[in-house]
Amino acid sequence: MLYFAYGSNLEAEHWTAWCADNGYDAGAIEPLGRAWLPDHELVFHYKSRLRHAGRLDIRPRRGTAIPGALFRVHDWAGLDAKEGVSGGYYRRVSVTALTDDGRAHPATTYTVCNARVEGFVPPGREYVEIVTRGLRRFGHGCQGFLAAAEGLSPPSMPNTLFAYGTLMRGERSHGLLKPRVRRAHGAAHVTGASLVQIDWYPGLVLSEDGAVHGELYEIDEVETVLHELDAYEDFSGYDRTDSLYRRSLVSAVAGHESVLAWTYVFLGDPAAFPLISSGRWTLA
């Protein structure tokens, strides 16, 4: 079973010390690598009775991905105890975590129980430092976390989109994207993926090798844009199984820069459709 961590459990020394002090095995969770929780944001609206300061929670927000990491769990006892599950402080919830290779991973995380939620509660300095070290351990930036620690709504991140089909410049549906483009990065590509011709539109599918070529855009009004694009791409949500595409995260390469970006991965059987061997699509 996989656990998505987004707070103090990211920091190895903190987790190890807590386990030693409380009689649990720190090796019960095994780090696998960085990941993101899509369509959620960080928030401080819970006061720790022990520390008398705010502790992190998550809440839904389309278009924002919370940075964190995936762990393989060998025993949940230590995590449940640290999160105060038996006391009704945090509870386990099922989520979908994303990695930047376009893949989705069923996982479990913790969220504050509704009865414990209140207004903004600022965190203590030590807690901020612990979470900051944990995020950096997995190569994440801290912009969103530090904004939440100040009681602000973090900016929508990522705010970039990798388009490879009808949303590209000059194609039939580019108009859905064009009014909200802040910056067009131009040509970009994604590795570990292939392209198939579904009908009058293509689909990006994940593969062991290959590359898909398209365009990278930085967008404004991310939540609004993705709401419209989710409907256009027939993406019903991470908790649904009836979508044609899944909105995923990829590392898109534009020039000499690798950028984390949203894109849409086709969920059908790729073997049922012709392969576009060049990895480049055009309706013509």
C-alpha–C-alpha distance, residues 260 and 180, integer Å: 18
C-alpha–C-alpha distance, residues 68 and 224, integer Å: 24
H or E, element range at 280: none
pLDDT at 52 exceeding the cut of 90: no
H or E, element range at 207: strand 202-219
Question: Angle between the 12-22 and 125-137 helix axes, to the nearest 10 degrees?
Answer: 120
CB 242 within 8 A of CB 254: no
Domains 2-149 and 160-272 share a fold: yes
The secondary structure of residue 124, as a DSSP letter, is P
**Average pLDDT of the residues in 177-189:** 93
Place of tokens 């900051």: 132
pLDDT at 51 exceeding the cut of 90: no
**Average pLDDT of the residues in 67-91:** 97
Superfamily of domain 160-272 in CATH is Gamma-glutamyl cyclotransferase-like (3.10.490.10)
CB 253 within 8 A of CB 263: no
Residue 283, pLDDT score = 62
Q: Over the stretch 151-162, which tens digit does the pLDDT of each residue have?
A: 998 888 999 999
Q: Over the stretch 213-260, which tens digit does the pLDDT of each residue have?
A: 999 999 999 999 999 999 999 999 998 889 999 999 999 999 889 999
Residue 48, pLDDT score = 86
pLDDT at 106 exceeding the cut of 80: yes
pLDDT at 85 exceeding the cut of 90: yes
Q: How much is the pTM? A: 0.95
Assigned architecture for domain 2-149: Roll (3.10)
Domain ranges of the chain: 2-149, 160-272
The per-residue pLDDT of the chain, averaged, comes to: 95
